[in-house]
Amino acid sequence: MTISLYDAIIPTMIQMLGSAQGWIEKAKASDLADGDIAAFRLAEDMLPFDYQVKSMVAHSLGAIEGVRKGTFSPDLEEPDSDLEKMRLNLGAAENSLRALSTGELESFVGQEMHFIFKAKDVDIPFTAENFLLSFSQPNFFFHATTAYAILRHMGVDVGKMDYLGQIRTAPAG
């Protein structure tokens, strides 16, 4: 059985974006202040929660948009520190990914693209599939796991099933 680029990337990103929205709902229901959550980092040399959430969007929908235009650059804008805005950004990314077609993703295979970070004079060439599978997808999971770990560390009532979210099971039959 062959697997498409779409199947290798999009359904799991949709799953995790939905999960993250659930974590944020639980964080909003906690006694913690939005600003305290947004600014929390696991280690001094790591970026805070709000950046982790922003990066989930950047390495899912933003990665697809980067492939479409042939370049992807880091988003250097300040992240939203309001939990509801973070949740809405994740939801918007999820909805946009749901609107993608398998055909569009497959049309990217073999397409040249570049990761460009002008501030550090970096230009890394990729094929679209290698960018998505070896750069954005691992980054997406790193930021998702870090965001989850921050909430867990802060005492938000999230567990493994919250992390996994809505898993895709075989149809009953």
Give the residue-averaged pLDDT of 13-33: 98
Question: Which domains are seen in the chain, by residue range?
Answer: 5-164 (1.20.120.450)
Give the model's confidence band at 34: pLDDT under 50 very low, under 70 low, under 90 confident, else very high: very high
- pTM for the whole structure: 0.95
Local structure of 79: helix, strand or coil: coil
- The whole-angstrom separation of Cα 6 and Cα 166 is 18
For the four alpha carbons of 166, 43, 89 and 113, in that order, the dihedral sign comes to negative
Beta strands 122-127 and 112-117 are: antiparallel
Encode pLDDT of 94-127 as tens digits.
999 999 999 999 999 999 999 999 888 999 999 9
- Is 12 a residue whose pLDDT tops 90? yes
Over the stretch 120-167, which tens digit does the pLDDT of each residue have?
899 999 999 999 999 999 999 999 999 999 999 999 999 999 999 999
| Span 56-88, pLDDT tens digits | 999 999 999 999 999 999 988 999 999 999 999
Percent of the chain with pLDDT over 90: 91
Rounded Cα distance between 173 and 171, Å, is 6
Dihedral of the CA atoms 70, 78, 165, 7 (nearest 10)? Answer: 0
Q: Are 77 and 84 in contact (CB under 8 A)?
A: no
Q: How far apart are the C-alpha atoms of 135 and 15, rounded to whole Å? A: 19
